[in-house]
Structure 1
Amino acid sequence: MKDHPLHKDTVVIHEGYEDQEHYGSLAVPLYQTSTYSFENAAQGASRFSGNEEGYIYSRLGNPTVRVLEERIAAIEDGAAALAFGSGMAAVSAILTHVTKAGDHVLCSRGIYGCTFGLLKIMEDKYKITHDLIRMDNEEEIEKFIRPETVCIYLETPINPTMELVNLEAVVNVGKKHGLQVIVDNTFTSPYLQNPISAGADFVLHSATKYINGHGDVVGGLLVGKEKEEIARIRGTIQKDYGGIMSPFDAWLLIRGLKTLPIRMERHSNNAEKLIAFLKNEKHVEEIYYPFDKDNPQFDIAKRQMRAGGGLISFTVKGGMQAAQRFMDHLQLIKIAVSLGDAETLIQHPATMTHSGVPAEDRLEMGITDSLLRLSVGLEHPDDLIRDMKTAFMALD
């Protein structure tokens, strides 16, 4: 099998685990332990010095967590990975790793509200500045590079506007100017998009979302193209900041990851059916979805993504009042701010996930008061369409 690379559908089930080492257990065991004993004092000293591989303390490594890390690194085409207690712990770790006081970060013009908040903290405390910019082409990006710029941080698709960033252009600029490229890949999952293969240095996920898929875990993952770089983050930022993932959460994510391919196919297929419905709904103004053929960025989507995924954003005629009235009349679809669950979820970014972003910045990101973000679940699409039809009738 080693002579034949495995498909991702197979890797998500098998990578990083040998049952011979665990009494033949087919399921990955849960090592719910905080510390590990040594055979003798010399072994303990050798492990602490790094001369011998092995586990010491679960903040520094855990067998269950390690299986998850190896599996996610494989399906993201990376060299190594780290698991964190939340997506924001992963974001914090990588931005802390690549920056120092006085540095500058280039960001896609739209980012998750808490990532925006973290960047403001870094600016206020450590004078690490940032610019939120469009990344349509190389020339546009290069205009904002300063001598103190150290990295390019982006989401694609962007939360919550579904705007795409041209990964090829960003990677070209990064290589030309010696900037590290960091991609938040949460919205697509590693099954639909692999930025490291496109040349990115780091990829991160809120594992809470599609990787878990069942709405019962909070976690984050960071994948790097260089094994040594990930080892440095493990031995410094993660070790000393302590934002680790628990073994039980890792075990749940390993279980969820096994069905990622079939879930992403169903999410994408359902989303396309809902797009067709929304295009004929009189109360809808604009629809934002990567694989919508009417999307001006459709060609970029086809180059970077294998399918459109399960997230749709759209605007409702009548502004915030109409958008919230529509939400309040949904019955099957739940009002909640996460995504990637089996259940279909909807939220109002301006007053929920991005409420902490100043109004002027929100508008610059394209987040209007009439914008809604829909995370399409695994239900039958006919039931979802029926629920939305009923809610739209409340706007008549």
Structure 2
Amino acid sequence: MTASSEQDNVQDHSDPSHGARLGFDTRAIHHAFDPADFSRAVQPPVFLTSTYGFESVAANDAAAALGGRLYAREYNPTTEILEKRLANLEGAEAGLVVSTGMAAFGTLVLSLLSQGDELVVHKTLYSNTVAMVEQCLPRFGIRVVPVDLSNPNNLDAAITDKTRLVYFETPVNPLSAILDISAIAARAHARNVKVAVDSTFASPSLQRPIEHGADIVLHSLTKYINGHGDTLGGALLGDAETLHTLHETGLRYITGATLSPHSAFLILRGLKTLSLRMERHSASALIIAHMLEAHPAVAWVSYPFLDSHPDHTIAHKQMTQGAGMLAFGLHAGFDGARTMLDRLQLLTRAVSLGDTDSLIYHPASITRARQALRKDAHLIEGVGEDLVRLSVGLEDVSDLVADLRQALQDL
């Protein structure tokens, strides 16, 4: 079952069908763009301009009153289409796109939090987010409180009168643990605290956190939403008031992390095939997860739609498919993982995810290499030295299985 078949078909007043109730895939292709408004170009044009001219002082004043339609850091027609389309697909009132996923997180926390505020986060986060919450935010007087949110009851003791935001990923990088969005949101909202969810591993095709009670959704657009590994981007989606703050303070003068119009164009292109790609990623990942789970060299496998996954019930509640990310460990541990990766002939050894190409990497090897330059580099919570993370691409799954089998032989 796809997200398109379960989507509530939010009424879309900006499409040429004049308010018809449209499905997810139709809106991913058409929302917020009418060719008649752009010289009948079928694809959104790329507006490569750093500023805008006006026919009169009064027109310039009117543009300023609209909120920054003067300069390309604050407004661009191509990025505006992307923001509206993403917000519509996610079920949000408004959206903001920025230059990277980390720029999205920086814009979020630096816009909404001040000295003396507290941020509650799940104990396991993306490694660069960990670096920011451990090293950057405390410098600005923001206290970060790590909590095991796999048990939402833990929020009761973690939230104080100074807590302003609860932030977590689901699925969680890199183990694909699943956190219960609705249970966490209910406890946070009972204390008047907003909830932000990084839904990068799922994309809005498979999971829409706002439908489960989240206030803000974050995406690294670099990953599944773009899907082709050829540009960077980040997005924040939520209520109009909060998004206005993120735009007017965060983007305009705190981070200035503007997404380039060409990147917005590439992401819009990728978005049109998101649902189709996620179906293929998910189906292939499940086949590979079953194969690995039965392989004698493999000690464990973590994939949300495996029956053996401890969170598979929650995953089925808030996701329509399991996406393309899985993690596994070998009986041969650290050295075995390195040997396996070196034997691979088709899968690409790389650190990103969500591409058409299958990408695989060994976090412990990267961490050891980084320690030569940064003594404080460390594996994140829950990640052992045996863990291998695999982003399953769009190749023929039989070829991926064959490559993994030959790499695992005799380990």
The equivalent of 2:55 in structure 1 is 39
Is the deviation greater in 135-144 or in 192-201? 135-144
Aligned-partner Cα distance in 1 for 2:362–2:378 = 16
The equivalent of 2:195 in structure 1 is 181
Closer/same/farther in 2, CA of residues 358 and 131 from structure 1, 3 Å limit: farther
The equivalent of 2:72 in structure 1 is 58
Is residue 44 of structure 2 the alignment partner of residue 10 of structure 1? Answer: no
The equivalent of 1:99 in structure 2 is 113
Aligned-partner Cα distance in 2 for 1:54–1:99 = 23
Is residue 251 of structure 2 the alignment partner of residue 238 of structure 1? Answer: yes
Paired letter, 1:380: D
Aligned-partner Cα distance in 1 for 2:142–2:385 = 30
Is residue 292 of structure 2 the alignment partner of residue 278 of structure 1? Answer: yes
The equivalent of 1:222 in structure 2 is 236
What CA deviation, in whole Å up to 9, does each residue of 1:267-293 have, x standing for no partner?
Answer: 001001101211211111111111111
How much has 1:54 moved relative to structure 2?
8.1
Aligned-partner Cα distance in 1 for 2:215–2:92 = 9
Closer/same/farther in 2, CA of residues 310 and 274 from structure 1, 3 Å limit: same
Paired letter, 2:241: E
Aligned-partner Cα distance in 2 for 1:26–1:97 = 36
Residue of structure 2 aligned with 1:28, choices 26, 41, 44: 44
Closer/same/farther in 2, CA of residues 366 and 381 from structure 1, 3 Å limit: same
Q: Give the TM-score of the pair, scaled to structure 1.
A: 0.95
Is the deviation greater in 228-237 or in 73-82? 228-237
Residue of structure 2 aligned with 1:255, choices 269, 289, 295: 269
User: Is the contact made by 1:138 and 1:172 (CA closer than 8 Å) also made in structure 2?
Assistant: no
The equivalent of 1:298 in structure 2 is 312
What CA deviation, in whole Å up to 9, does each residue of 1:54-92 have, x standing for no partner?
Answer: 832111110001110001001110011111011000000
Gaps of 5+ in 2: 1-16
Closer/same/farther in 2, CA of residues 359 and 234 from structure 1, 3 Å limit: closer
How much has 1:194 moved relative to structure 2?
0.4
Is residue 98 of structure 2 the alignment partner of residue 84 of structure 1? Answer: yes
Is residue 351 of structure 2 the alignment partner of residue 337 of structure 1? Answer: yes
User: Is the contact made by 1:326 and 1:394 (CA closer than 8 Å) also made in structure 2?
Assistant: no
Is residue 398 of structure 2 the alignment partner of residue 385 of structure 1? Answer: no
The equivalent of 1:152 in structure 2 is 166
Gaps of 5+ in 1: none
What CA deviation, in whole Å up to 9, does each residue of 1:237-271 have, x standing for no partner?
Answer: 10112101000000000001000000000000100
How much has 1:105 moved relative to structure 2?
1.1
Tell me, what secondary structure is at the counterpart of 1:374?
strand
User: Is the contact made by 2:175 and 2:327 (CA closer than 8 Å) also made in structure 1?
Assistant: yes
User: Is the contact made by 2:221 and 2:234 (CA closer than 8 Å) also made in structure 1?
Assistant: yes
User: Is the contact made by 1:337 and 1:352 (CA closer than 8 Å) also made in structure 2?
Assistant: no
Aligned-partner Cα distance in 1 for 2:31–2:95 = 13
The equivalent of 2:278 in structure 1 is 264
Paired letter, 2:332: G
Is the deviation greater in 345-354 or in 61-70? 345-354
How much has 1:122 moved relative to structure 2?
3.2
User: Is the contact made by 2:363 and 2:379 (CA closer than 8 Å) also made in structure 1?
Assistant: no
Aligned-partner Cα distance in 2 for 1:147–1:135 = 19
Closer/same/farther in 2, CA of residues 34 and 98 from structure 1, 3 Å limit: same
Closer/same/farther in 2, CA of residues 298 and 231 from structure 1, 3 Å limit: same
Tell me, what secondary structure is at the counterpart of 1:326?
helix
User: Is the contact made by 1:77 and 1:196 (CA closer than 8 Å) also made in structure 2?
Assistant: yes
How much has 1:121 moved relative to structure 2?
2.9
Aligned-partner Cα distance in 2 for 1:324–1:342 = 24
What CA deviation, in whole Å up to 9, does each residue of 1:190-236 have, x standing for no partner?
Answer: 10000011111110111000011110001111111x11221222111
Q: Give the TM-score of the pair, scaled to structure 2.
A: 0.91
Paired letter, 1:46: A
Aligned-partner Cα distance in 2 for 1:138–1:390 = 42
What CA deviation, in whole Å up to 9, does each residue of 1:8-67 have, x standing for no partner?
Answer: 11111001101111111111111111111101112112322x1x5783211111000111
Aligned-partner Cα distance in 2 for 1:148–1:12 = 39
Paired letter, 2:240: K
Aligned-partner Cα distance in 1 for 2:210–2:127 = 24
RMSD: 1.9
User: Is the contact made by 1:113 and 1:353 (CA closer than 8 Å) also made in structure 2?
Assistant: no
Aligned-partner Cα distance in 1 for 2:272–2:377 = 42
How much has 1:132 moved relative to structure 2?
2.1
How much has 1:373 moved relative to structure 2?
0.5
Alignment of 1:93-132 (within 5 A): 93-132=107-146
Aligned-partner Cα distance in 2 for 1:17–1:33 = 19
Closer/same/farther in 2, CA of residues 69 and 358 from structure 1, 3 Å limit: farther
Identity %: 36
Aligned-partner Cα distance in 2 for 1:309–1:40 = 51
Aligned length: 391
